[in-house]
Structure 1
């Protein structure tokens, strides 16, 4: 091993502490080991110039044991402990640990160099018994420190996970450490009585009566990708035959850490003015007695990587079903006309729905009004600047973006179009609504047809 004088060490340490060079630069420039330079810096910071000078020190058994106990208690590394106690060879600590594990405190006693001395006279029985008692006490103390160190590490992990560290959680930690440490030492480190420990162990072994319900709640939550809150999950459970109160579902979801990812929608009020093209015949009467009686439509846009996609859907107010929709990359009239053709194909000869929209330019076109007239569809328009006159469609757009668009990342417009098609199918066939007695729009329409 190359030996370095004190001036060389001070020069490198001062360069590092002054900030003129870092570990990597110094190691590369002077060809020394990274760990050796770190040890010089730590020794200088803790012990000053004396920490860099040559040193020949005699370490007795008590000092070695003190170092090992400190490492076990504080969880220090051998390198950190060597710098703290000004021990020049980090490998010495590992050697001491192996000697202690093999032979106890006696093995830490340094041996004299040279020829062996004449065997001393054997100690008296009283002296031997005192030494045995001291060794036993030291071993017991070291075992306790090891158990305490393991317990504190587990308890620290609990605090970092924002747990309260209650008696039940302490008992859980101790139960995990029992295979490696005596229970008495663990109870002493945790400050827990034996009866309290066994009480909580028994409570942990008791089966959770809500385990099956929790499993179903988590399955529903993951199936709907976090879109369901406790009300919809309650409706889904009741639909599956589980009679459970919504407050119980809310409490169990809180225990599981589950919460709807959909943000609440804000109310904004503005009356606006009636348009000149068509009156507001809907007048916010968003209920319909039968399918294809009242329709609403609107256009919304999406932005993906500097590109836009426009969506134009038609909703049937009878069950909130999206009966037709079309997308385009530009806000052209084909966006609306194609959607209308799809919607008209669902009409029977006797059905003449009312179609409500806002005052967008598409809905004021002569061609749009002509298409409605040809199919005996009555036109209705919101008042100017009043989105609440078309609240049903605005609500769908808010749900679509909250439950789908904002929760996903899209690389291209094509990927977004595929996702919209999948979500609208999910919205119509699977997503239950509390206003529809816990059924999806398609389920509600099919149920009505059977009556």
Structure 2
């Protein structure tokens, strides 16, 4: 079987170079995250050399200012105030970190004290958490049970997986990742340890503005899916939709194309408008990257961007069959809605975008280096979309 030469849209190339220049990481690392040969990314950067290079922002240099010497009689008072200030700061930090342990068992509080002995004085933590220092030292002197030792080691693995995925994963995905690595533990046990130690996945928000305008006189295609979202092979069914990204400069709109079999985002485009050019650019990227055969079903809502003449002509030229959701029924495009929900929870709601360019860079990195290549997806057996595509090849 001959290997198909991959093709990339200009927008993908621009964002890849912007990610490289803005990240400050070695070119080889960025290329590997994007699934590219280093020479390819190097050539893209060479083409873009006509533009001024992005400067890496570092911490501004602060010149030291000499503190005038204090009179001797003030030295002791200053030292005392500093000690009190430091103790207050430590108490605040202890309370902040121990929030999930305050109402727990004494053993949970002892475990917190043990885990943070290098940060704060043990007796100070005992006082703040309301346990006796003698009780803590008695607990510390008892031999650890086999179950407690196993839980402690499992907690280390949970925190490792949770941190590797930027705090996005809840207990189900953490459990699936551990199981894939050969770590034996039930999902309930993982969930209990995460709950006990305040380890959570990213939480959702409910607000969502309307991005679909179906009040038009353009042709509407029938629903060819009927909410059947199980597809055996890639490039048989693609889903498409638009969502919004808030920035300090105003809205940035994202159009995406998702392969239903692998849940991979195969095409995307970002603009400051929702005109038809936004959706056609995302579809063109998907076609260039995937080169699907004739007969692929491309499903979307009834928005005017998808019902437009330009979009329908592009589908016809590629030999695709158009499918549309019923009016006002978001469940007809549920996997696409699920991706946007994940994007909002794991990135958009946790980031303040000062500019549209910042949003473009961070969404590009999320889709191409994390979502497609690293994030386990429950609908495809807790593997990544990239792995699902290789498995089907």
TM-score normalised to structure 2 length: 0.62
- Aligned partners of 1:355, 1:168: CA distance in 2, in Å? 53
- Aligned partners of 2:265, 2:132: CA distance in 1, in Å? 60
Tell me: CA distance 1:217–1:351, structure 2 relative to 1, closer, same or farther (3 Å): farther
Query: Is 1:309 paired with 2:257?
Result: no
Match of 1:390 in 2: 333
Query: Is 1:435 paired with 2:376?
Result: no
The SS at the match of 1:384 is coil
Match of 1:324 in 2: 267
- Aligned partners of 1:234, 1:172: CA distance in 2, in Å? 23
Equivalent of residue 287 in structure 2, options 312, 321, 344: 344
Deviations 1:135-175 (A, max 9, x none): xxxxxxxxxxxxxxxxxxx9xx88987256848968999xx
Q: CA RMSD in A?
A: 3.9
Tell me: CA distance 1:168–1:223, structure 2 relative to 1, closer, same or farther (3 Å): closer
Query: Is 1:277 paired with 2:217?
Result: no
Deviations 1:207-227 (A, max 9, x none): 722333222211111121211
Deviations 1:90-132 (A, max 9, x none): xxxxxxxxxxxxxxxxxxxxxxxxxxxxxxxxxxxxxxxxxxx
- Aligned partners of 2:362, 2:133: CA distance in 1, in Å? 56
- Aligned partners of 1:168, 1:317: CA distance in 2, in Å? 44
Deviations 1:68-105 (A, max 9, x none): xxxxxxxxx9xxxxxxxxxxxxxxxxxxxxxxxxxxxx
Q: Pairwise mapping of residues 214-253 of structure 1 onto structure 2 (< 5 A)?
A: 214-253=155-194
- Aligned partners of 2:112, 2:241: CA distance in 1, in Å? 57
- Aligned partners of 1:354, 1:253: CA distance in 2, in Å? 41
- Aligned partners of 1:168, 1:369: CA distance in 2, in Å? 61
Match of 2:24 in 1: none
Q: Pairwise mapping of residues 112-131 of structure 1 onto structure 2 (< 5 A)?
A: none
Deviations 1:392-423 (A, max 9, x none): 11111111111110011221111110010011
The offset of 1:303, in angstroms, is: 1.8
CA contact (8 A) 1:253 1:259 kept: yes
The SS at the match of 1:252 is helix
* Deviating 4+ runs (over 6 angstroms): 157-161, 170-173, 204-207
The offset of 1:255, in angstroms, is: 3.0
CA contact (8 A) 1:292 1:352 kept: no
- Aligned partners of 1:324, 1:301: CA distance in 2, in Å? 16
Tell me: CA distance 1:172–1:294, structure 2 relative to 1, closer, same or farther (3 Å): closer
Equivalent of residue 418 in structure 1, options 355, 361, 377: 361
- Aligned partners of 1:349, 1:251: CA distance in 2, in Å? 45
- Aligned partners of 1:330, 1:447: CA distance in 2, in Å? 37
More RCO (CA 8 Å, sep 6+): 2
Q: Which has the larger radius of gyration?
A: 1
The offset of 1:347, in angstroms, is: 4.6
Deviations 1:280-313 (A, max 9, x none): 1111111112111011101111221141111111
- Aligned partners of 1:169, 1:397: CA distance in 2, in Å? 39
- Aligned partners of 2:388, 2:335: CA distance in 1, in Å? 17
Structure with greater proportional helix content? 1
Match of 1:133 in 2: none
Runs of 5+ unmatched residues, structure 1: 1-76, 78-153, 181-188, 267-271
Tell me: CA distance 1:388–1:349, structure 2 relative to 1, closer, same or farther (3 Å): closer
